[in-house]
Each structure stands twice: as C-alpha cells, then as structure tokens.
C-alpha cells in the first residue's frame, strides 16, 4: 500500500457519453484520459443510449490502457483500488464501466469503490494543481450544473451533502442543448452558444428568469419554450449578429438565475465559499458573472480548470481516494437515479 492518505486509484467513468479513465494518488492526477462520443450522437441531436453503450464497449479498454500507461503503471495490481461511477446515468452505459472495473479489480485482488457521479463533480473543484486538493471538502455550497443536473448542494464534509434545491424540469445544460437544436447549432449546445453569446447583446431580448421567488429550486423549461415561441414569431435570426444577440440573451437569463440562487444558497447556509462544477461550469459567461459577484459580495469562488468541468474519471478517482482514506468500505451498487443525499449514508 502506498501513502494511506493518498491512495492510488484507477478510476473509470462511463455514465453518459464520455468514456474516461484516470489514475490518481489522492487528489493528485497521474493521468486522465477522456474519449468523447460527441460525433456519434451529433446526427441525433442528443445522446442515444444504445449507441452510448456500444461506444463505451469499443473505447473502454484502450482508454484504460492509455490511462495506466500515462501514469507509468504496468499492472493494475501496483495500485490500491479501482473506482467507478455507479450512477446516476444510463444503466447500459454505467454497466460497461462497472463490469470492466470489477474485472480488473478481481484479476488484481483489489477492492472496487462505487462513486456517485455528482460526488465526483463536487471533487472536481479540488483537481488540477497542488494547492487545490484540500479545498473540495471545505464546507461550501456547490452549484452542480451539467447536462443532467442543476442542483445547489451544501457540502459539509465527506459524505455530508444536503441538496438545497434542484431543477423541477430541464437541467441548465439540457436547456442549452435544446435551444441549440432549435437554432440548428447542433449538439452539445453549451460550447457553441457560449461562443456566439460572447459577441452578442445580452439585453437584446428579455427572456424569462423563472422562479426568482426566494426559493432554491430551478426551472428552465419555460425559458426554452420562450425561445421556441420567439423563433416561431420572429423566425430564425438571419444575421450572425442576430444569432449572437439571441444566444447572449438566452445565456443572460440562465446565468442570472444561477448566480441569484447560488447567492441565496450562500446566505441561507451562512457559507462563504461557492464552487461551480459540471459541464456548464465551463461557460465563460457564468464563470465571469460568478467571479464578479464573489468579488462584490466577498465570498470565495472556485471552478475546476476547464478540462475537469465536463465528465472525467479523475474526479471519480479523487472522490474514491477520499473515501478510502476515511475508511469507507468497498462496494458498487449500480443505479440510474439515486440522489447524492441518498448515496451519502452508504458503506461507511
């Protein structure tokens, strides 16, 4: 066994449309490999579950081999444990990662740790440089914004998570993807809308900011409908500037709501630290708005480096390493939709 506080872990992530593997020592990343399936799903405008499983099967072995090789590990048995995302996600996709993790661990006589995908995202705020590792578990509010989730989570320590509010319908990333599809900009929508928004006027159109009523729940489906109605009435924008203005106005509505609710969650929990994690935390408009608000309202704000905002296995490995160091026992329970709160009580 290596340094008990820095267990060396091979981690796999296959919950959606990224096949990823990483080797970590604690929260230090020794390698991180991500194979994206974006091109496979692009013609369909969203993730097709059967295609995702098939693609994970094709990619998982080369991705694991590359992660081991880049970390200079010649045999899994040199490590302390294997970790894998056990849910939530597409069950067929999760099973690919889980079965490979189980197979490798059993061949090498290692334990396998199942990790909740959102606990992984929470740990992503501690990845990337030597200064960050301790920060992921400092008490904070995590704004988890991805294609499948929009949640405010009070993180009080390892395994101590309280969901303060979540979306009632679409996730923020899902809204980006649906609006992008309606605008003919393809999948995934976040990066392309983010790019157009940078050159547009956020005040060009007044789109709704839903549920700014003092609660911590979100709703993005009304905003998506407002864009669809706008397109029906006014037609598709016929200039590049018109498209940029529409993207900027949509993004401003999303960002306003996320910033306002994140601030409310900080006040409610008396926390002075906010982490934004998940694919949408890569958004330039959101990062800038949160950083500016943090300066004004004097709270500490962290986002992962861009490459660790989207799905990756390094965050899964870091979460597992923390659990191992804290004495959690091993085990995997595949699930499609268990919440972070439900997973916190498992296996301590």
Residues in the site for ligand KG4, rule: CB under 6 A? 16, 146-148, 173, 176-177, 188-191, 194, 278-280, 282-283, 310-311
Closer to ligand KG4 by CB, 128 or 147: give it. Answer: 147
Residue from 219, 223, 228, 222 nearest 183 by CA: 228
Tokens of 52: 């995702």
The footprint of Zn ion on residues 249-278 (CB under 5 A) is: none
Q: Which stretch binds Zn ion (CB under 5 A): 108-116, 209-217, 253-261, 308-316?
A: 308-316
Closer to Zn ion by CB, 149 or 287: give it. Answer: 149
Tokens of 310: 């989207």
Tokens of 147: 């294609």
Closer to ligand KG4 by CB, 35 or 283: give it. Answer: 283
Read off φ and ψ for residue 92, nearest 5 degrees. -60, -35
Binds 141, which of Zn ion, ligand KG4, none (CB < 5 to 8 A, cut-off by type)? none
Binds 194, which of Zn ion, ligand KG4, none (CB < 5 to 8 A, cut-off by type)? ligand KG4
Residue 174 interacts with Zn ion (CB under 5 A)? Answer: no
Binds 317, which of ligand KG4, Zn ion, none (CB < 5 to 8 A, cut-off by type)? none
Question: Any residues with CB less than 8 A from the CB of 234 and at least 6 apart, and which?
Answer: none
Phi-psi region of 87 (alpha: psi -120 to 50; beta: other; left: phi over 0): left
Phi-psi region of 141 (alpha: psi -120 to 50; beta: other; left: phi over 0): beta
CB of 174 to ligand KG4, least distance (A): 6
CB of 197 to ligand KG4, least distance (A): 9
Residue 146 interacts with Zn ion (CB under 5 A)? Answer: yes
Question: Any residues with CB less than 8 A from the CB of 346 and at least 6 apart, and which?
Answer: 331, 333
Closer to ligand KG4 by CB, 26 or 173: give it. Answer: 173
Q: Which stretch binds Zn ion (CB under 5 A): 182-190, 197-205, 214-222, 306-314?
A: 306-314
Closer to ligand KG4 by CB, 37 or 68: give it. Answer: 37
Rounded CA separation 158/325 (Å): 11
Residue 177 interacts with Zn ion (CB under 5 A)? Answer: no
Read off φ and ψ for residue 231, nearest 5 degrees. -65, -35
150 membership: H or E segment, kind and range = strand 150-157
Closer to ligand KG4 by CB, 108 or 192: give it. Answer: 192
CB of 251 to Zn ion, least distance (A): 20
Closer to ligand KG4 by CB, 87 or 188: give it. Answer: 188
311, 316, 319, 332: residue in contact with Zn ion (rule CB under 5 A) = 311
Q: Which residues pair with 153 in a beta bridge?
A: 142, 163
Give the DSSP letter string of 120-143: HHHHHTT-SSTTSGGGGGSSEEEE
Read off φ and ψ for residue 210, nearest 5 degrees. -80, 150
- Site pattern 95..134 for Zn ion (x: CB under 5 A): ----------------------------------------
Q: What angle do the packed helices 189-198 and 240-269 form, to 10 degrees?
A: 110
Give the DSSP letter string of 285-300: HHHHHHHHHHHHHT-E
Residue 17 interacts with Zn ion (CB under 5 A)? Answer: no
Closer to ligand KG4 by CB, 8 or 224: give it. Answer: 224
Q: How many CB atoms lie within 10 A of CB 271?
A: 18
Rounded CA separation 54/52 (Å): 5
Binds 283, which of ligand KG4, Zn ion, none (CB < 5 to 8 A, cut-off by type)? ligand KG4
Binds 280, which of Zn ion, ligand KG4, none (CB < 5 to 8 A, cut-off by type)? ligand KG4
Closer to ligand KG4 by CB, 119 or 311: give it. Answer: 311
Rounded CA separation 344/348 (Å): 9
Interacting residues with Zn ion (CB under 5 A): 146, 311
């Amino acid at each position: 066994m290596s340094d008990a506080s820095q267990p060396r872990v091979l981690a796999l992530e296959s919950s959606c449309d990224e096949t990823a593997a990483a080797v970590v020592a604690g929260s230090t990343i020794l390698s991180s490999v991500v194979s994206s399936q974006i091109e496979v799903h692009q013609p369909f405008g969203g993730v097709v579950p059967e295609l995702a499983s098939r693609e994970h099967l094709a990619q998982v072995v080369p991705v694991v081999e590359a992660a081991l090789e880049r970390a200079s590990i010649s045999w899994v048995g040199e490590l302390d444990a294997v970790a894998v995302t056990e849910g939530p996600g597409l069950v067929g996709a999760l099973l690919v990662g889980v079965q490979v993790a189980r197979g490798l661990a059993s061949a090498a006589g290692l334990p396998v740790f199942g990790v909740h995908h959102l606990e992984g995202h929470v740990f992503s705020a501690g990845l990337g440089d030597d200064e960050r590792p301790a920060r992921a578990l400092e008490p904070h509010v995590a704004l988890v914004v991805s294609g499948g989730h929009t949640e405010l989570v009070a993180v009080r320590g390892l395994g101590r998570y309280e969901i303060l509010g979540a979306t009632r319908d679409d996730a923020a990333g899902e809204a980006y993807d649906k609006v992008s599809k309606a605008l003919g900009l393809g999948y995934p929508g976040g990066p392309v809308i983010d790019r157009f928004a940078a050159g547009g006027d956020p005040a060009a159109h007044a789109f709704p900011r839903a549920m700014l009523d003092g609660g911590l729940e979100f709703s993005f489906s009304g905003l998506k409908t407002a864009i669809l109605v706008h397109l029906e009435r006014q037609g598709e924008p016929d200039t590049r500037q018109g498209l940029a203005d529409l993207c900027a106005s949509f993004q401003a509505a999303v960002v306003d709501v996320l910033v306002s609710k994140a601030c409310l969650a900080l006040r409610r929990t008396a926390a002075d630290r906010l982490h934004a994690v998940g694919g949408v935390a890569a958004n330039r408009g959101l990062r800038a708005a949160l950083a500016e608000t943090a300066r004004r309202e004097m709270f500490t704000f962290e986002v992962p480096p861009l490459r660790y905002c989207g799905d990756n296995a390094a965050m899964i490995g870091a979460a597992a390493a923390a659990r191992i160091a804290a004495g959690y026992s091993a085990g995997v329970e595949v699930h499609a939709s268990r919440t972070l709160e439900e997973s916190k009580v498992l296996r301590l």
